Amino acid sequence: MKEGPGLKIQPLPPEMTAALPILNRLNAAGYPAYFVGGSVRDTLLKDPIHDVDIASGAYPQEVKDLFDRTVDTGIEHGTVMVLDHGSGYEITTFRTESTYTDFRRPDQVTFVRSLAEDLKRRDFTINALALQADGEVVDHFSGLADLKAGLIRAVGDAHQRFTEDALRMMRALRFSAQLDFEIEPQTKQALVDLAPNLEKIAVERIRVELEKLLLGPAAASALQDLLASGVVKHLPGDMAAWPASVWQQIIGDYSRGPITSPAAAWALLLAPTALNNGELDAFLRAFKLSRELMRSVLALVPALRDPDHLDTWHLYRLYAYRQPLLEALTAKGLAPDQFAAINQGLVQLPMTDRHQLAVSGRDLMQAELVSPGPQMGRVLDSVERAVVNGQVANQKEAIQQFIQEQVT
Ligand code: ATP
Ligand code: MG
């Protein structure tokens, strides 16, 4: 990577090339416009890019006047989506943010014409880079040098920036996990000093950042920073109460990562703890996980705690979560032969879902084997278990015979 002023990226990645007509149109109308944020950072790192964000000196109404098809996706923050050949591009007006009285949201957003003002309000130097249509990088805060050195550094005074918005502390930790970057010392000190402000941040926003941290390739060292900085004391779930030996286990498991599934990520965090079922449930509720994710984590934790007793019936119950299960067991360093046995057990299940049973309740009624009512549920349960355990073939006649033998 070339450093200093004049660095030009050529060619631009295809996602940006596709958006160039939009930048050009804004420029031709006399408005400055740049690619900004994560897509610029990730392009310079040669990482895949997600969404291409555009920032412009045009005010929202001016953007709407310039393009035929737009959607007001966040117009109060200055964001308008432009629809172009089936793609949507978010264009955000350059803005400043002022007087944060609650450590979370700016009281006022002011639209401005200058890119420099806009870059100043961004969180970290590596996120404060902009890219012109011709590929030239705009770097007012030495973000290129920090990208090269692998550093997460606040733009301007870290204490002030974390006082304005406490969520930035969680963002610092999650970018360090995602990019395998160190947090620069002054930024880290601000994390230590201002961690209590995280208690004012909505749980949902903390959860998003913590989950991205856990799914980052360098999650283990970010977890170490989370502990060492004291940030952990101000998060939901009372994780600071977990003994050091538990944290050692968690960090050890994460160092065998990376983890790609959210269910595996939360299960690996919780499996080494002594939390019982009710406490696990309360922990996941405190973080406001979705019902579906909670269900999968609650199924996975006992399996990770006791992988020696994953019999056929357990594997059947875990079948829907087999990918996170295998991923988490790998992170736990399960012995290869044990891992192979579990994998084999999953592949060889006679069926993987109750709907695959060769008979239905209605079949059994028609055959006058079982009458409707509570008995039906019990019979189907025992048939399901017998088929899964290989005692009965999953065939109509075999099952009917099994029921007759049971009843008589
Ligand atoms: P990702 O790849 O995870 O989307 P990103 O850098 O695009 O990473 P976003 O959360 O999408 O992160 O934010 C886009 C940009 O907006 C950031 O790069 C940063 O410049 C700015 N930004 C986002 N959140 C904040 C914040 N809390 N404080 C200051 N700037 C922020
Ligand atoms: Mg983004």
Cα 322 to middle of ligand 1, angstroms: 33
- Residue to probe by mutation, ligand 1, list 50, 123, 170, 213, most atoms within 8 Å of CB: 123
Residues with CB under 5 A from ligand 2 (ion): 38
Cα 264 to middle of ligand 1, angstroms: 25
Which long-range CB contacts under 8 A does 273-282 form with residues at least 24 apart? 273/242, 273/246, 274/246
Closest atom of ligand 1 relative to the 42 alpha carbon: 2
Per-residue pLDDT of the chain (408 residues; tens, 9 = 90+): 444 557 999 999 999 999 999 999 999 999 999 999 999 999 999 999 988 999 999 999 999 999 999 999 998 899 999 999 889 999 999 999 877 777 777 878 899 999 999 999 999 999 999 999 999 999 999 999 999 999 999 999 999 999 999 999 999 999 999 999 999 999 999 999 999 999 999 999 999 999 999 999 999 999 999 999 999 999 999 999 999 999 999 999 999 989 999 999 999 999 999 999 999 999 999 999 999 999 999 999 999 999 988 999 999 999 999 999 999 999 999 998 999 999 999 999 999 999 999 999 999 999 888 988 899 999 999 999 999 999 999 999 999 999 998 865
CB 271 within 8 A of CB 333: no
Q: What count of residues does the chain have?
A: 408
Closest atom of ligand 1 relative to the 122 alpha carbon: 30
Q: Which ligand sits nearest to residue 48's alpha carbon?
A: 1
Closest atom of ligand 1 relative to the 37 alpha carbon: 18
Cα 127 to middle of ligand 1, angstroms: 7
Euclidean distance between CA atoms 45 and 9, whole angstroms: 12
Strand 137-139 and strand 129-131: the pairing is: antiparallel
Peptide bond preceding 258 in cis form (omega within 30 of 0): yes
Cα 35 to middle of ligand 1, angstroms: 13
Does the Cβ of 216 fall within 6 Å of ligand 1? no
Does the Cβ of 38 fall within 6 Å of ligand 1? yes
At residue 313, what are phi and psi to the nearest 5 degrees? -65, -45
- Ligand 1 atom 4 nearest Cα: 38
Euclidean distance between CA atoms 363 and 165, whole angstroms: 62
Place of tokens 């502390």: 169
Does the Cβ of 92 fall within 6 Å of ligand 1? no
Q: Please, how many CA atoms are within 13 Å of residue 47, restricted to the half-sphere of its CB?
A: 14
Closest atom of ligand 1 relative to the 171 alpha carbon: 27
| Alpha-carbon 405 to chain mean position | 51
Among 156, 194, 144, 142, which residue's Cα sits nearest to residue 173? 194
Q: Which ligand sits nearest to residue 152's alpha carbon?
A: 1
DSSP output for 96-125: EEE--SSSSS-SEEEE-S-HHHHHHTSSBG
Euclidean distance between CA atoms 67 and 22, whole angstroms: 9
Euclidean distance between CA atoms 34 and 115, whole angstroms: 9
Q: Which residues contact 169 (CB under 8 A, 6 or more apart)?
A: 162, 190, 191, 194, 195, 197, 198, 231
pLDDT recorded at residue 407: 64
At residue 335, what are phi and psi to the nearest 5 degrees? -60, 140
Cα 81 to middle of ligand 2, angstroms: 15
Place of tokens 């994710």: 293
The H or E element that residue 314 is part of is: helix 312-317
- Ligand 1 atom 21 nearest Cα: 122
Euclidean distance between CA atoms 60 and 356, whole angstroms: 54
In this predicted model, what pLDDT tens digit does every residue of 396-405 receive, in sequence order? 999 999 999 8
> What letter does residue 369 receive in the DSSP assignment?
S
Euclidean distance between CA atoms 125 and 197, whole angstroms: 22
Cα 50 to middle of ligand 2, angstroms: 7
- Residue to probe by mutation, ligand 1, list 16, 127, 210, most atoms within 8 Å of CB: 127
Does the Cβ of 125 fall within 6 Å of ligand 1? no
What are the residue ranges of helices labelled H in 130-243? Answer: 143-149, 158-164, 167-179, 185-194, 203-214, 219-228
Euclidean distance between CA atoms 188 and 173, whole angstroms: 9
